[in-house]
Structure 1
Amino acid sequence: MSGKSSRPKGYQLTVKLRERLPEKRGSQKRVELPPGEPNSLAYFAESYLASLVLKYRSAATLSLRRDGLKFFLSWAGERELVSPAAITKPILESYQRHLMRHRKSNDKPLGLSTQRIRLGVLRDYFSWLTKQDHLQANPAADLELPRPEKRLPKEPLSLQQIQNLLAIPDVTDPLGIRDRALLELFYSTGIRRSELTQLQLHDLNPERQTLQIRQGKGSKDRVVPVGNRALKWVETYLETVRPKLLLHPAEQALFLTSYGGPFHPDVLSRMVAKWLKQSGMDRPGSCHLLRHSCATHLLEGGADIRYIQQLLGHEQLETTAIYTQVSIERLKEVHTRCHPAEAKPAQPRQDKP
């Protein structure tokens, strides 16, 4: 045994630059609730959150609930509102106005979606307090939430832009092979970044060319097809690269960082954003842009929207319709071809006087 590392070349140079793991939200540094006196809002909050573990298996969902509840408890504590009975609808409406005025650390206001989440947590929490007989009536029962924002989806990447992006990883380098496999799988399956980080070796079925996505959004499982090109790159990565990255034989994560462990979603976002910039596209969006491009290109290629819905794992067809808005370039082509005002003008007739 020479004792030399089997790490791929360039590992020491690459790992420090792009794959250092951030603290995982909701796991390594959990948002703690302030300690509460018996029968106080904070006291009951822990029991409420414990009840959600059985209802929501997603750590991200639980973290959002805990974070939203902590924000309210801090606001209430500053106003000496300690017991559940002290909370009335006017007080909750005052808190709602506080959310509207609140500025984040970057001096930007809270988005409407964040406000909806934080108020929705309170509606659920006070409903739970009422059902547990800690309150006689739910003060949040008629609390109106902000209407959800209806944003137009980001313009998807064109086919040429996809090819430019896929060409960025250096496939003569082992890590470049892994990165190309990551991008191909994102674009082929439309998988979410959180779902990709949770993939295990046994989730890929090369014979059937399918991928089992477990505990996706809404804690739902689904099986999606994997295209030939993407499958070949993933198999090449598994055969030639993953064994060199593996530190612990028991590790089952499909994609490994240079540290030998699974990716964190934020790391994937930073990597894809960097590749987008390197390919000449300095625009917002990263992993989700590939998901949106996958869905849009399938729709433009003639795929039934119901199949795209199943691929993306959307519960409502309306959600899929939003993600698969046709690109503006395609719309311009159709407009030029079909609108009567865009037709080649006829020569004006020379009427005799």
Structure 2
Amino acid sequence: MKKLRLTKDEHIRLESGFKEWLAVTGYAVSTVNSLPANIREFFHWLEQENMAINDLTPAEVLRYFIYLKERPRQRKTGALSNNYLLKHLQAIKRLSDYLRNTDQESFDADIVITGDKRKIPEILSREEIKQLYEATEDSPMGLRDRAMLAVYYGCGLRRNEGISLDTGDILTDKNLLYVRNGKNYKERYVPMTAEVKEDIESYLLYGRPFLVKEEYEEAFFLTERGERPEGQSLHIRLKQLAEKAEIDKVSGLHKLRHTIATHLLESGMSLENIALFLGHESLESTQIYTHILNNDL
């Protein structure tokens, strides 16, 4: 939908402002790039219908989704998937938030899309997590691998939250990990179990000192060159561990976050506490783990 041409200056300005707002408020790069493309199609439809933002009612928004459900796909045959429609709904709801938060004319996007729900994230078993740990080595990078598992599985951090960690964020005296750069710039403290604390301290004492090249370097995770790693490098390292452990369903660091959330729910932790642990703003995001556990999606 990036090829759709907008003719109204207002829509061009809003699309640009929306993308900038998403970036400034801390959304993931993939979201910053994808949601404005969905909004472009929405604006294009408004122009075809000769409508303005202040004309929108929930009924008109619903009419747009009826249009989406009926229009053909661009590259394949058949109707648009429900996941595609849900992505559009997310984009439109965020657009209404953007307009409201920047004191512009907004609209109500409180509609519900029925049908198949989003795909259940596949998780790792406790035995597979154990196998990942057993695949690590007793070397500086091996200790970093265990710290990586501790941060992303043991503490359930998002990829960028872990990358942004500094050594000063590791509060071992309080058994806490301080997340400074969470989603939407939200801060939180994450508790560390004794096992997580041990793996993190081992890396700090016996692994990181062999990787650090500059005394002033504050990054918790370091590459072999002594630099803060990019998310992709940790992703590749996790895939290598998974291959060594002969586990073929590790698609990324977020898999560890899904896994710990489901394991905590399985152990009896309440949804409210899991939401706090993960840094979710609402229980809606956390409830997916009840579906994983019950396999009822």
Structure 2 length-normalised TM:
0.72
1:42 counterpart letter in structure 2: I
Which residue is 1:115 aligned to?
Answer: 88
Partner of 1:210: 176
Instruction: Give runs of aligned pairs for residues 266-305 of structure 1, distance below 5 A.
Output: 266-305=232-271
Change (3 A) 1:277 1:149: farther
Contact 1:292–1:324 (CA<8 Å) still a contact in 2?
Answer: no
Contact 1:40 / 1:84 at 8 angstroms: preserved in 2?
A: no
Q: Is the 8 A contact 1:157 1:293 kept in 2?
A: yes
Unaligned runs of 5+ in 2: none
Which residue identity is paired with 1:207? D
> Are residues 284 and 234 of structure 1, via their aligned partners in 2, closer, same or farther at CA, if it must alter by over 3 Å?
closer
**Match of 2:26, as an amino acid?**
S
Correspondence for 1:41 among 3, 8, 11 = 11
Decide whether the 8 Å contact of 1:305 with 1:321 is kept in 2: yes
1:166/1:233 CA distance change after superposition, 3 Å: same
Tell me which amino acid in the other structure corresponds to 1:170.
E
1:237 to 203, 209, 226: 203
In structure 1, distance between residues paired with 2:230 and 2:25: 18
Equivalent-residue separation in structure 2 for 1:309 and 1:121 (angstroms)? 21
Instruction: Give SS of 2:189's match.
Output: strand
Aligned residue in 2 for 1:313: 279
Corresponding residue for residue 58 of structure 1: 26
- Distance between the aligned counterparts of 1:184 and 1:233, measured in 2? 7
1:111 aligned partner, one-letter code: Y
Query: Does the C-alpha gap of structure 1 residues 322 and 238 become closer, same or farther in structure 2, counting only changes over 3 Å?
Result: same
More helix by share: 2
Is contact 1:212–1:224 with CA below 8 Å preserved after alignment? Answer: yes
3-state DSSP of counterpart to 2:202: helix
| Alignment match of 1:150 (pick from 110, 117, 133) | 117
CA distance in 2, matches of 1:33, 1:197: 34
CA contact (8 A) 1:314 1:320 kept: yes
Q: How far does residue 254 in structure 1 lie from its aligned partner after superposition?
A: 0.9
Distance 1:273 1:70 in 2: 31
RMSD: 4.4
What is the CA-CA distance between 1:253 and the residue it aligns to?
A: 1.5
Q: Greater shift after overlay, 40-49 or 161-170?
A: 40-49
Compared CA separation, residues 149 and 298, structure 1 to 2 (3 A): same
1:101-141 CA-partner distances (Å, limit 9, x unpaired) = 1349xxx9773443334444555677799x657xxxx7x76
Distance 2:225 2:217 in 1: 12
Shift of 1:328: 7.3
The 2-side partners of 1:286 and 1:66 are apart by: 20
Residues in 2 aligned to 1:181 and 1:324: alpha-carbon distance in whole angstroms: 28
Contact in 2 for aligned 1:246/1:256 (Cα 8 Å):
yes
Shift of 1:234: 1.5
- Aligned counterparts of 1:314 and 1:75: Cα–Cα separation in 2: 28
Give the AA of the match of 1:159: R
Return the letter of the residue paired with 1:167: E
Q: Secondary structure at the match of 2:196?
A: helix
- Distance in structure 2 (CA, Å) of the matches to 1:216 and 1:320: 16
For 1:133-144, list aligned pairs within 5 A.
Answer: none
TM-score (norm 1): 0.62
Alpha-carbon distance, 1:316 to partner: 2.8
Q: 1:252 pairs with 212, 215, 218, which one?
A: 218
3-state SS in 1 of match to 2:165: coil
Alpha-carbon distance in structure 2 between the residues aligned to 1:40 and 1:126:
13
1:265 maps to a residue whose letter is G
Q: How many pairs align?
A: 284
Aligned-pair CA distance for 1:168 = 0.8
Deviation, structure 1 residue 188: 1.8
Instruction: Report the residue type matching 2:11 in the other structure.
Output: L
Is the CA contact 1:209–1:225 (under 8 Å) kept in the aligned structure 2?
yes
Task: Look up the SS of the partner of 1:307 in the other structure.
Answer: helix
The answer for the alignment partner of 1:193 in structure 2 is: 159
Q: Which of the residues 178, 189, 192 maps onto 2:144?
A: 178
The CA deviation string for residues 221-258 of structure 1, in whole angstroms up to 9 with x for no partner, is: 11111122222221221122223322343332111122
